Every structure is written in structure tokens, then in C-alpha cells.
Amino acid sequence: MAQPFLRIEGVSVHFPVRKGLLQRQVAEVKAVENVSLSLNRGEAFGLVGESGCGKTTLARTVLRLVNATEGAIWFDGQNITELKGAALAPYRKRVAAVFQDPFSSLNPRMKAGAIIAEVLKVHQYSGNVNARVIELLGLCGLSDRFADLYPHQMSGGQRQRVGIARALSIEPDLIVCDEAVSALDVSIQAQIINLLEDLRVRLNLTYLFIGHDLSIVRHLCDRVAVMYLGRVMETATSEELFDNPQHPYTRALIDAVPNPDPLAEAGREHVALKGEVPSPLDPPKGCVFHPRCPIAMEVCRTVEPSLDILTPGHSAACHAASPPQTN
């Protein structure tokens, strides 16, 4: 089998908490804990979970904006975890990001054309910069007149298209989409999702897509990982995960998605999760989800479950879902 295009191996990200005059470390926030995932070239991989579960921190670690405390990240066969300075430059040219808020992620004092051109100049583009800017805007469904507009002169969807054009300017292989459509109106969300799908096919892009809206993740992504309190709870193909969820947290997330049919929604029973998400400063012992789990057993309170393969391509970290051990 071909090696995964992006491989995340046992990555943990901890942030120190310091207090006092001497700023001594008194605790640490365990934002990501022992996460292992793999992405194939050309696929869209979704990361879902509640706010604060570590999705964005993991994405920023992949982008090398945050350093991993433990573990390694392999990109196209190269370990990029310890790269620094000039050695990191070739990787920077192959990965890009599309951020959640298209207004705050664009410089309000620069026109759209200058925003895109800046990236080309930083990466020493050898061609005609202005022509390339117009080409990128057209690729994202914008006419050349948008090159002379400031971010405040555009709608949210148009600003996000500029953000996507900026990400495409370096001809990346991997694009991290961090809640790329959550700040947009529903009708505009559909347009941006269709644009991302079209670009993935045309340019053979690989997406790491972070989202809250499970319906969008189901539509766009080939495979999905569910995160909770920095851990991966379940991974599967999009179809398998939504049709046959094995982890109680995954079931709760899917159950929270409203049914567009009002009659079906009115007759549906909802099982709301009890309690609040624990603090990553002091995560629970055993399974971190057990304080809120409706089917928690005694073993869940003391033994942390491993991410076991249930069927080919479908894994879950749950004692109730784990396959029986054989001697």
C-alpha cells in the first residue's frame, strides 16, 4: 500500500501554565493528547468535535505554527516535526490555510490584489505577479475588479474567496480549512463548499477540514475523525461514521443535528449530554468522556480505552465498542 501523504504519529501538545514573579510552571493544558491520524493524497479529511476539543491546535501543529510536545508528523515521507528556519521553507510552500473569519484574516489596509501578491513575493514567484493574481481570483469565481477592492468593500463570501485565492497562490498540496464556512450565511456556505470541492478535483488538493456543522463535513469529507478533550474518539469513512456510529460521543454529536423535516424532527427523541466538558488542565482518569457518557461502566473510570480497529477503516476508543481480546 502507498504511504499516507500526511501521517500524524502520537502527537501531544501541552501548554505550560505559569504563575508568580518567577513565572514557574504550575500546571499544563493538555490540548492534544496522543493523536495518530493519516491522510491520503487528494482526500478531504474532517475533524469534528465541540469547541475546545483540540481540533484547531492539532491543525496549527500540522502547519508548524505550534510545536508538538511529543510525537511526529510526516509529510510526503519527510518528518517535518523538528524542521526549523531555512529547512522549513520548502514545507511552507506546500501547505496553506483558510481561516474561519474572512474579515479578520485579511489585512483591512490592503486591497485584495495586494494581499494575494504579498504571498507570491514572499515565496519569490518568478512570473508576472499581477497576471497570477487575476488568474487566482478567476479560479475562485471573482472578476479582476476585486483586485482593487478592500476587504470591507466585499461580502463575507467574497472575502473568503479571496482567502482561498491567497491559499492557492503558492500552489499547495495540503490546505487546512479551519472552520472555513462557519462564519458565512447558509446559502454562501454552499457556494464555498462547492468551490472547495471543485478545486480539490481540479488541482488534486488534500484537505484537513475542521468543522462544527456535521452536515457540511458529511458532504465534503471522505473520512472523519471525532475529537473530545484532545483525544480521538472515533475515525471512519464519512458514510460509515454517520450511518453506524460506535462511540457514544459520536452518537450524541449526530443526534444534535436537526432534521430538516419538521415532522420527523418533532417525533425524534433527543438524548442530551449531561454535564460540561472537563478542563484540559485536569482531565478525568480513564476514559475522558466517562463523566458525561450515558453508558459508562466501572472500567471506563479507571482504564483509558485505546483506539481499536472495529472493522477495516473504522476505529473507536470505547470499552463498549472495542472488539473482544483474543489470546
Q: Please state the three-class secondary structure of 235-278 as a single string.
A: EEEHHHHHHCCCCHHHHHHHHCCCCCCHHHHHCCCCCCCCCCCC
- Distances in Å between the Cα of 79 and the Cα atoms of 7, 9, 73, 83 are 9, 10, 6, 8
Find out whether 62 and 176 touch, Cβ atoms under 8 Å: yes
Q: In whole angstroms, what is the distance from residue 268 CA to residue 18 CA?
A: 47
327 pLDDT band (50/70/90 cuts)?
very low
Q: Give the homologous superfamily in CATH for domain 6-94+172-316.
A: P-loop containing nucleotide triphosphate hydrolases (3.40.50.300)
End-to-end CA distance of the chain: 28
- Proportion of the chain above pLDDT 70, given as a percent: 94
- Average confidence score pLDDT of the chain: 90
Reply yes or no on whether the pLDDT at 237 is more than 90.
Answer: yes
Q: Give residue-wise pLDDT tens across range 92-146.
A: 999 999 988 888 889 999 999 999 999 999 988 888 999 999 999 999 999 999 9
Instruction: Identify the pLDDT of residue 3.
Output: 82
Domains in the chain: boundaries: 6-94+172-316
Q: CA 92, 94, 100 angle in degrees (round to 5)?
A: 80
- Residue 257, pLDDT > 80, answer no
Average pLDDT over residues 258-267: 69
Q: What pLDDT shows up at residue 1?
A: 52
For 92, the 3-state DSSP assignment is: helix
Strand-pair partners of 37: 8
Range with lowest mean pLDDT among 120-124, 203-207, 219-223, 265-269:
265-269
For residue range 34-63, list pLDDT tens digits in order. Answer: 999 999 999 999 999 988 899 999 999 999
